[in-house]
Amino acid sequence: MTVAGASPFRTTATIVLRVGAALPGNYAAIDATGSLLAILLAAAGMARSDAVVLASIVAILAFLVVLLWAFHTPRLLRFWVGLLIVTGIATALCRVLAPVLP
């Protein structure tokens, strides 16, 4: 089933790109932001184990929200760029802040 005027290849490619954004891209972004959240919570004084558990719970909820967003957004390029920016910033902050923890 194709959209009127769209070639089957274009529709298939769009689906593959959305699945790629929704699963591995989303996982990378949420992994980086979840790690950053755990580091920030631990730096704020929360016990490390509690910080990791809370960050994991928040990351699971965020993963589901971003997963739905990946299939709902009409602009796939904007979504991919957003994922890359969030992943890059969160990864860079993790590398800077992790050695500072006591």
- Give how far Cα 39 sits from Cα of 58, 76, 86, 95, Å: 14, 30, 16, 10
Summarize pLDDT for 56-74 with one digit per residue, the tens: 999 999 999 999 998 888 8
Work out whether the CA dihedral 13, 23, 61, 98 comes out positive or negative.
negative
Give me the pLDDT at residue 6, please. Answer: 63
* pTM: predicted TM-score of the whole model, two decimal places: 0.82
3 band by pLDDT with thresholds 50, 70 and 90: low
The predicted-structure confidence for 80-91, as pLDDT tens digits, reads as follows 899 999 999 999
Chain centre distance of CA 30: 4
